[in-house]
Structure 1
């Protein structure tokens, strides 16, 4: 067999997993989310940048602050999800590089002195980490509902007023509720995407 990962784990992470649109009211614990992060932090990023930041909305007050900036169709599921995470990237991620990339600490200034460079690299590598985060949520037996239907400028002003973080996506997290999943949409076959030279 080409894959060494157990078929049940493959199903949990990929084949049977879907974007959830409804959730039960079963809480998502801090222990669960910390376990998710402690797993996904090992996913690769360039120079081990690790620019992803998580803002976890547990209180009704914090949730209402976000709802004002969500697209109308995303409001009900975001209001009722047990946990909502704002995934953002830190524009000052380079400050941690001497710790995260200790064999080449000069990278901090040699490569990332310009904020435009950090913004491009931070967005790209945090997006990689966001993919790991969604898989980590699934690995915890939970469902994820990632969304980009919101006003990013509004979310940034509301939650990251100092301008040092920028939102990537919003992810609702919990146990799937009734009619949580749409029918599986088609996927492209290998022959459609792979070019062998």
Structure 2
């Protein structure tokens, strides 16, 4: 029988779960020939969408590239070291953001009706908010993928302008995409993330991280 803690503090995750999400999770560049089906991608989104964002704005927009044809469209924008990584991954996600994310605020943040007008009248604030919070949502994407037993390989070596023109430019179409709810010309790319089952035999020794004393202070 499944029980849900609706009251006090949640129980800490097990050490094994923490290893899977953080300590033993790695950035992968090489992939096993094991597909990731569309149902898994839907489960992935249904997990990550619950992560917090400013004013519940949820600005991230995800374009999952699953076919060789879609991947080839990405190649001209990639830095040379990242081409093989993307082409061999089962899925490459373009993590983008909707510059007009505030159009959804009447649904997502109905108790503050003035927020939509505030963001619409201050484009710089809207842009900063969309970029920052889509980065947060991209991190939730990685953790959700790891929670589902997948591996990730985030990438930032690419030309954002080329990606935006190829996939989100005026006149572009995405198969099975409802343009009303995925307005391509409103979207800008943030970063890329390869998803699949990584080849653990090709991992290099793990690089160190900063100690608490190097990265943190207590006031």
Common fold by TM > 0.5? yes
- Distance in 2 between the 1:126 and 1:178 partners? 29
2:200 maps to 1:165: no
**1:103 deviation in Å?**
1.1
Q: More displaced, 104-113 or 28-37?
A: 104-113
Tell me, what secondary structure is at the counterpart of 1:188? coil
- 1:149 match: 157
2:30 maps to 1:8: no
1:75-99: CA deviation from partner (whole Å, max 9, x where unpaired): 0111111111111000010000010
- 2:3 match: none
1:13-45: CA deviation from partner (whole Å, max 9, x where unpaired): 000000011111111011111111111111111
1:32-62: CA deviation from partner (whole Å, max 9, x where unpaired): 1111111111111110010001101112111
- Distance in 2 between the 1:143 and 1:161 partners? 30
Contact map agreement 2:102 2:119 (CA 8 A) in 1? no
TM-score (norm 2): 0.85
Matched pairs, number: 195
**1:114 deviation in Å?**
2.5
Return the structure number with greater relative CO, CA threshold 8 A, min gap 6: 1
- Distance in 1 between the 2:93 and 2:218 partners? 39
- 2:196 match: 174
- 2:214 match: 192
TM-score (norm 1): 0.94
2:75 maps to 1:53: no
- Distance in 2 between the 1:80 and 1:138 partners? 19
Question: Could you list the runs of 5+ residues in structure 1 that have no partner in the other structure?
Answer: none
> How large is the Cα RMSD of the aligned pairs?
1.3
2:93 maps to 1:71: no
195 and 103 in structure 1: CA distance in 2 versus 1, 3 angstrom threshold: same
Contact map agreement 2:146 2:152 (CA 8 A) in 1? yes
**1:178 deviation in Å?**
5.3
**1:113 deviation in Å?**
2.5
